[in-house]
Amino acid sequence: MLDVKVIREQPDFVRERLRSRGAGDETKITEVLSLDEKRRKALAEVERLKAERNRASKEIGILLSQKKADEAEAKKAEMRRIGGRQPSPATAEFAPQQCSPRPEFGG
């Protein structure tokens, strides 16, 4: 099992080591790096949206404590719209792929 951190930090080394095994897996390193980058970007977006939601929740609480229910409801509606666009790192693109056991590894 390769740590994605090692692949990210030393892709040429990993390619060379995989090439020496002769299984042809070295060609997949670029794909792994691409998917890792997409996943990291999605996670950053999720964190940004969570921070925005938390900030809005505090604002809603303040508005409600100031008896500004109409403004609080408008803010809640805005947050519901934002909540619908929150990407999930668990989407099919980032979910672990089903693969068959590899006979050379005894699987």
In this prediction, what percent of the chain has a pLDDT beyond 70?
78
Domains present along the chain, CATH in parentheses: 4-88 (1.10.287)
Query: What does the pLDDT read at residue 86?
Result: 55
Residue matched to tokens 């790192």: 89
What does the pLDDT look like over 54-73, one tens digit per residue? 898 899 999 889 999 899 99
pLDDT tens-place string over residues 38-49: 999 999 999 998
pTM over 0.75: no
